[in-house]
Every structure is written in structure tokens, then in C-alpha cells.
Amino acid sequence: MIRLSKPYFPPEAVEAATAVLKSGNLVQGEYVLKFETELSAFLNVKHAVVVSNGTAALHLSLLSLGIGPGDEVIVPAFTFPATANVVERCGAKPVFVDIGLDDFCMDPEKIEMAITPNTRVIMPVHEFGQSAEMDEIMQIARSHGLTVVEDAACALGTEFRDRKSGTFGILGCFSFHPRKAITTGEGGAIVTNDDDLASKLRILRNHGIEQIDGFNDFTLAGLNYRMTDFQAALGYYQMFEIDHLIRKRIEIADQYSAGLSGCSAVKTPAVLPGRTNVYQTYHVLVDERFNCDILKKRLFEKGIETNYGANALHVLKFYREKYSFKQDDFPNALRSFRQGLALPVSLYIGHEEIQYICEQVKLMTA
């Protein structure tokens, strides 16, 4: 079976994680600090705060900004549900905006129509490792006095006009889930250049504990969103190979795009000027003549694991029923969900396997 994804750990990472486990000092030790330092340097930001997962990063970001009941946060209609779920968990309202079919990211032309007097935050998602159109989004935010929090869960190393995604807004959130460019099993990070927000995030992730005059006090109603030290050890040593890992993903994507060229039933990811895609997912759009559920099943029978790329949030039970959405409210999100197909990407996949996958996809969509 050609797996959709398979995580890679350099030997040094496994050895370091094992040493941490043997030490008994498992939570927020030296490797958390080392990992944060490497992330800050790679992204060219002042602060990186690692946490238990990418959803925790998003949740803490909104909490640190005081987002709550009565507030609205603009999010793309096509993404993993965590983006909208954290808004709900803060007691605020997620407001959906449809996406573009070239980058699968929030369509800037549709953002202003979604802004109301209650809007506080725009939360673009760099979907599948492709950057959103950040110049336009930041301009819209500035003109309306709004805050930008980037969901860069899929986009460690992605660039927009030579600047790393996740560093445009006041806060940027990353995930280290097993399908990401680097992984700590679960894990996430928040990055910022704001000293006060960084301090608040560190307090919030650790139960609200702040050290004052040498003593611990609980100064905020925090949560336990800490990263373990053995997870951080895995991430720290992968950071030394991050450029190689990203290049490998781009090479895989190039091989897929070449192998699927000429297949009129499959739209491959667009290569957009000024943007560097790290291809957390190689996501194609299949012509509507073909049922993707059947296609996934047939590919699995041929030893190829595939999946949906992301979700059209407005057709999920919770959001559909709470906000009375209709299926055609966000047509691009719906099409990307129904006709989207994520193909295998990992360090272990070879050229012959990619050729085989391309051949099967072309046969099944002929």
C-alpha cells in the first residue's frame, strides 16, 4: 500500500527523544526552548511558542486577543474544521468566505462583503501549503482596523513574495501533525513579534501560571496546552533538515504535475507568481463527471491511499444546522470538497510509485 503520508525522523531526533524519556523530565524542558529558538530563526520572528497541537495554537491565539461572545472572525469556507471550531469555542461567530480554485485559499475579493461592525479578526488559511494572497488581505485588514491571525498549519516554509507565511499577521499558527513537513506526532506553534502577546501566550499555555517575585501565581484562566520535551526533541532535529524536506515535497509535486499533464479530467495545483508552495498536500480537482468517493475506493484497491483535501465547512452538520447554510452558499468550497483528491506525499515515495499513481488516476478518469 502506498500510504497517503509517512512521517520521517532523523536518527538524532529518535535518540534525543529516547534520552528525554529516560531522563524522566518530560514536559517543557531544554528541547522546547531549543525548538522555539530554531523556529524563530527559520521564520525570522522574535517569538515562537510551541504548544500541544495546531488547534491549541489557534485557540490560544484568539484567547490572547480577547475574542469572545459578540465577536466575529472571518475564516475560509474550505479548510479543516479546527479553524472555525476554535472561534466557536471562544463563544464568537465564524463568518465564512468562499475560496479561489487556483490556491484553495480565502478569496480576497469576497472578504469585504463579510465584514460587519462585529468583525474583529480575519483568519486566512494557507491551504495545502499554498500561501493565501497576503498583500490584499493585509490591506483589507488595515483599512478596516482588523487583526490578522494566520492559520499556517500546513505552511511551515511557505513563502509569499519572499516572506514566510505565518509572519504577516500579528500571530501565525503552525501544526506538527504527522502529515506536515516536520512532525512531533501532535504539536503546534504560535509565532509573533509582539512581546506582550508572546508573554500572555506562554502564561495561557501553562494553566495561567506566571512567576512573580520568584513565586508562581495564577494570573490568567489558562489551559494545559504545553508541548512535551520529547516531542520538541523530534521537532528540533528535523529543523536542521527542513530545507531538504521542503525541496523533496516540491520535487514530488513537480513529478505529479508532469505525470498528470495532458489529463483533461484532473486540474493540478497552480504554480502562482511570488508564492512558494511546500505541498503539505498535493491536491487535485477531478472533473465533476467522476465521483471522487468511487475514485478513492478504486485507487485503494490498486494499493494507493488517497483522501479528501479539506472540508466544505458549511455542509458539515454542526455549521449547516446552526447557521442554516445551503449547499450552494459557497460553491467553490463545495466543489473543492466534493471533487478534491489528496495524493500521497512523503519522503519515502519514489519516482516509480508516483508514475504508477499517475497512470492509475489517468486510467480511471479517461
Give the type of residue at 241: E
pTM flag (> 0.85) = yes
Length of the chain: 366
Which residue positions in the chain have pLDDT lower than 70?
none
> Contact 104/131 with Cβ under 8 angstroms?
no
Q: Are strands 159-160 and 163-164 parallel, antiparallel or unpaired?
A: antiparallel
Percent of the chain at pLDDT > 70 equals 100
pLDDT value for 149: 99
d(CA 29, CA 229): 5
pLDDT value for 102: 97
Q: What Rg, from alpha-carbon coordinates, does the chain have?
A: 21
pLDDT value for 214: 87
* Burial of residue 261, with CB atoms counted within 10 A of its CB: 0-12 exposed, 13-18 middle, 19 or more buried: exposed
* Burial of residue 223, with CB atoms counted within 10 A of its CB: 0-12 exposed, 13-18 middle, 19 or more buried: middle
d(CA 321, CA 318): 6
pLDDT value for 350: 97
Which residue from 313, 264, 312, 304 is spatially nearest to 284, judged by alpha carbons?
Answer: 264
Q: At a CB cut-off of 8 Å and minimum separation 6, what does 236 contact?
A: 13, 16, 31, 34, 35, 38
pLDDT value for 185: 95
All cell numbers assigned to 331 = 460553491
pLDDT value for 58: 98
pLDDT value for 192: 98
Domains in the chain with CATH codes: 11-239 (3.40.640.10), 243-364 (3.90.1150.10)
